[in-house]
């Protein structure tokens, strides 16, 4: 009977150790998620824009002639950071807006994330 008792004790210790490791991993994961959330929230602006307001559009990800305003494409430092102003037509969600674009930009759909607006 001594063998089965020691095997039973070994199984109980293994189970206890496994549960401790799982709890440690869960606490570490929770702490990492909270730290990442704090870092993300520092850079996040909670901003809502009203219909009819005017906003500028970040030209960083827009490669059109209107954005460079007839400037030399070889010198990106001199390109305007923002283009516009554009009238806000509709709020599609908390983070997405439709803008009224000029004729020269009608090939774009006019829907932009709030992070692209200033």
The tens-digit pLDDT sequence of the chain (118 residues) is: 455 668 889 999 999 999 999 999 999 999 999 999 998 888 776 677 888 999 898 888 776 554 444 555 556 677 778 888 999 999 998 889 999 988 888 788 889 988 888 8
What is the rounded radius of gyration, in angstroms, for the C-alpha atoms of the chain?
A: 28
Single out the residue of 113, 56, 65 nearest to residue 85, CA to CA. 56
Residue 104 lies in a domain: yes
Domain count, the chain: 2
Q: Distance between CA atoms of 92 and 105, rounded to whole angstroms?
A: 20
Are 10 and 29 in a shared domain? yes
DSSP assignment letter at 45? -
Are 36 and 72 in a shared domain? no
Structure tokens at 78: 């001199």
Which pTM was predicted? 0.55
Are 60 and 28 in a shared domain? no
The residue range of the domain holding 25 is 1-44
């Amino acid at each position: 009977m001594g063998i089965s008792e020691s095997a039973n004790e070994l199984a109980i210790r293994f189970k206890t150790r496994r549960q401790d490791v799982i709890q440690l991993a869960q606490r570490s994961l929770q702490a990492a998620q909270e730290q990442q959330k704090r870092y993300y929230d520092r850079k996040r602006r909670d901003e809502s824009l009203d219909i009819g307001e005017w906003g500028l559009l970040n030209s960083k990800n827009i490669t059109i002639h209107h954005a460079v305003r007839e400037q030399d494409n070889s010198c990106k430092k001199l390109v305007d950071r923002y283009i516009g102003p554009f009238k806000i037509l509709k709020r599609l969600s908390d983070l997405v807006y439709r803008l009224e674009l000029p004729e020269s930009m009608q090939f774009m759909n006019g829907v932009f994330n709030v992070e692209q607006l200033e």
